[in-house]
């Protein structure tokens, strides 16, 4: 659709007069009439009823006027945001994330962002998925990052990466040597789980329930590092992001039990409020996030 022609239509619709619209636009009245005729031909509808020297909008004209207004608002929004992106010279961007995205995905993106926009003050709170959600909804941070897809009124949820959770055990543990999975694999084990509110814990519990598995006992420890240290100390077995255990594996403290049934693929999500206009810094960070990780299948929720 030709935007100058649409501007002519909006002016006629507002003034309900071809002559007055022509005066406003500094065009001749025949030129205004030509624009409207061409627009009607393009759309295949009649936009105005002509009544003497004045005109009235048809039903189609009223619909187009409504959409034209929305397009005008959106165009201005695009210009404003792109203008801000061009000049990100001040401000701040507050982030909150659970341990997996916060420790193993975001630092590289934050470093890229800081190099491109050094005047923007970045901050990151490490918590769990539930806390990240609450901080986003309360407006305490612009973006949250979690290991579960929350459903909450007014929440925008964007998938951005895939993470693999694996069963970890002390080096030489029987589960590491076990090649065949059985329903009783965990019946004699202490399962070390994250605290309530952890997205990792929620995903693990859902997977174990699907498999009909129940550990012998559960030991709850806050934080992903606490889980890894407890497992390394021989207190039990647990789940962790494969990305998070490379150092302990290299040091011979932990091993991964490569049991296919106990490997869990999950999506990591970026959270924001639908009713909060995203700042240029927020949009720039999300653009780097998508570029760095590649698009993850699945629509925004």
| Cα gap 228→170, rounded to integer Å | 10
Residue-level pLDDT at 296? 43
Predicted structure pTM score:
0.65
Write down all domains in the chain, each with its CATH number in brackets.
Answer: 3-86 (1.10.10.10), 92-161+269-293 (3.40.190.10), 163-266 (3.40.190.10)
Nearest CA-CA partner of 181 in 212, 202, 218, 203 = 212
Whole-angstrom Cα distance, residue 100 to residue 12? 56
| Neighbour count for residue 166 (Cβ, 10 Å) | 20
pLDDT value at position 84? 61
Neighbouring C-beta atoms of residue 93, cutoff 10 Å: 22
For residue 87, the model assigns a pLDDT of 56
What pLDDT shows up at residue 86? Answer: 61
> CA 240, CA 284: separation in Å to the nearest integer?
30
User: Cα dihedral angle (129, 132, 138, 141), rounded to 10 degrees?
Assistant: -160
The C-alpha atoms of residue 297 and residue 141 are separated, in whole angstroms, by: 26
pLDDT along the chain (301 residues), means of 10: 81 88 89 90 89 84 88 74 65 91 93 91 92 92 92 89 93 84 82 89 91 89 91 94 92 91 91 87 90 51 44
Residue (of 221, 190, 209, 273) closest to 99 by Cα position = 221
């Amino acid at each position: 659709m030709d935007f100058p022609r649409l501007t002519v239509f909006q002016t006629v619709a507002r003034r309900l007069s071809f002559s007055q619209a022509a005066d406003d636009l500094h065009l001749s009245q025949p030129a205004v009439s030509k624009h409207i005729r061409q627009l009607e031909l393009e759309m295949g509808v009649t936009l105005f009823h002509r009544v003497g020297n004045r005109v009235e909008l048809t039903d189609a004209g009223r619909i187009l006027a409504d959409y034209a207004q929305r397009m005008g608002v959106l165009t201005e929004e695009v210009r404003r945001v792109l203008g801000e992106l061009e000049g990100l010279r001040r401000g701040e961007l507050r982030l909150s994330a659970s341990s997996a995205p916060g420790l193993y995905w975001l630092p590289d993106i934050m470093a890229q962002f800081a190099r491109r926009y050094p005047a923007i003050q970045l901050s990151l709170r490490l918590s769990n998925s539930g806390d990240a959600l609450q901080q986003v909804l309360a407006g305490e941070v612009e973006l949250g990052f979690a290991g579960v897809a929350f459903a909450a009124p007014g929440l925008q949820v964007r998938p951005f990466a895939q993470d693999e959770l694996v069963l970890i055990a002390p080096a030489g543990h029987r589960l590491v040597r076990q090649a065949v999975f059985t329903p009783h694999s965990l019946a004699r084990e202490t399962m070390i789980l994250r605290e309530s509110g952890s997205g990792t814990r929620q995903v693990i519990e859902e997977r174990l329930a699907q498999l009909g598995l129940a550990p012998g006992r559960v030991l709850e420890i806050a934080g992903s590092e606490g889980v890894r240290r407890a497992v390394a100390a021989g207190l039990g077995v647990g789940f962790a992001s494969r990305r998070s255990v490379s150092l302990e594996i290299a040091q011979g403290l932990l091993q991964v039990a490569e049991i296919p049934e106990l490997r869990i693929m999950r999506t990591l999500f970026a959270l924001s409020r639908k009713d909060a206009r995203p700042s240029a810094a927020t949009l720039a960070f999300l653009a780097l996030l998508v570029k760095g990780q590649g698009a993850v299948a699945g629509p925004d929720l």
